[in-house]
Amino acid sequence: MSRPLPKAGRYALRAASLAAALGLWQLLTSLNVDLWLRFSQFPTVADVARAFAGRLSGPDYWTDLTDSLTRILTGFLLAAVLGVATGVLVARSRSAEDLLGPVLEVVRPIPAIALVPVAILLFPSNEQGIVFITCTAAFFPVLVSTRHAVRALIPVWEEAVLTMGGGRWRILGSVVLPGALPGIFGGLSVGIGVSWICVISAEMISGQYGVGYRTWQDYTVVDYAGVFVGMVTIGVLGWATSTAVELLGRRLTRWLPRTSYVAGARPRPVKAAAAPASTRADHAPSTEEARDEHLV
């Protein structure tokens, strides 16, 4: 295995990857390359950058941005709370599983964007409809991953808390939720991605303001540079929000044993305190290994 790059080197590599993609785009479009794929109608990077600069100084861009962010954050947070609560309930209670399971399983395969007619019928305003669709989109990944994570918990943890006199709520708070957190964050990461797909699509169909609405408007008036400004905006926002979810997840699941490679990449002074020789010999190298040797 090659030696891992230092931190600065890795960031340089990432920046270079983005720059190379932009360079290729500029090259293909400025030379009007037309090899079956036609880049002649495509705006160049410079065109898009100019349009972007123009938008940034106008008022609509920031309204669109905050509208889209408000919709997705509201929908996503609702989905996170509902998804985790329902997932835990379905995984822990047989009657909840029987009552909710069939409904959830029938609704789950319906693409959230196909719920636009339902949203229009149900909600008095477009705004609430879009939040509903975003929420539904993120709800199922969170629900499913929570359910699996809760079912995969090691029973010993729960038994330990039971024999300390812990009750239901104690087990929920001290075992189930923290133990399922790595799995829950898997679902949240998928969920935030699906949320973006749905909030943009819903805005294109029925929105007023919002990045998706603006992008579609630009397309209808043949402002291709504007379309690309919208796409870049979506890309950056999506990347920022999913990074936020990732970072929060990593922070909350710091306790997970990591491989030495990852641990080295994020150095933490854990083993610093050298243990002064304790009173007893205690050099068990690895539990699993020792366990196998000593089974009678």
Partner 1 sequence: MSTSSDTDVTATPIARTKAPAAVRGTRLTLRGADLGRPDAPPVLADVELDVAPGEILTVVGPSGCGKSTLLRTLAGLLSPPAGEIGQDGSPVTGPAADRALVFQEDALLPWRTLRANVELPLAIKGSARAERRRQAESWLARVGLADHAHQLPHRVSGGQRQRAQLARALAGAPRAVLMDEPFGALDAQTRAGMQDLLVEVLRGTGATVVFVTHDVDEALFLGDRVALLGNGRLTAVRDVPRPRDRTAHDDPARVALRRDVLSSLGT
For residue 213, what are its two tokens? 């609405």
270 binds partner 1 (CB under 8 A): yes
Least separation in angstroms between residue 242's CB and partner 1 is 23
CA angle 40, 45, 46 (to 5 degrees): 105
Nearer to partner 1, 26 or 253 (CB): 253
149 binds partner 1 (CB under 8 A): no
The Cα-based distances of 5 to 2, 21, 77, 242 in angstroms read: 9, 22, 36, 24
Least separation in angstroms between residue 254's CB and partner 1 is 8
Nearer to partner 1, 17 or 287 (CB): 287
Please, which of residues 161-190 interact with partner 1 by CB under 8 A? 161-166, 170, 174-175, 178-179, 181
- Count the residues of the shown chain that bind partner 1, applying the rule CB under 8 A: 41
In whole angstroms, give the CA distance from residue 99 to residue 86. Answer: 12
272 binds partner 1 (CB under 8 A): no
Buried b (16+ CB within 10 A) or exposed e, 181-200: bbbbbbbbbbbbbbbbbbbb
Nearer to partner 1, 124 or 269 (CB): 269
249 binds partner 1 (CB under 8 A): no
220 binds partner 1 (CB under 8 A): no
Nearer to partner 1, 109 or 276 (CB): 276
282 binds partner 1 (CB under 8 A): yes
H/E segment holding residue 209: none
The Cα-based distances of 51 to 2, 31, 46, 121, 272 in angstroms read: 43, 20, 9, 37, 53
| Rg (the chain; Cα; Å) | 25
260 binds partner 1 (CB under 8 A): no
Least separation in angstroms between residue 86's CB and partner 1 is 23
222 binds partner 1 (CB under 8 A): no
Among 49, 73, 100, 160, the residue binding partner 1 under the rule CB under 8 A is 160
Nearer to partner 1, 48 or 175 (CB): 175
148: left (phi over 0), alpha (psi -120 to 50) or beta: alpha
The four Cα atoms 30, 35, 40, 43 give a dihedral, to 10 degrees, of -60
Backbone angles phi, psi at 206, to 5 degrees: -135, 15
257 binds partner 1 (CB under 8 A): yes
Binding-site ranges for partner 1 (CB under 8 A): 156-157, 159-166, 170, 174-175, 178-179, 181, 253, 255-257, 270-271, 273, 275-276, 278-287, 290-291, 293-296
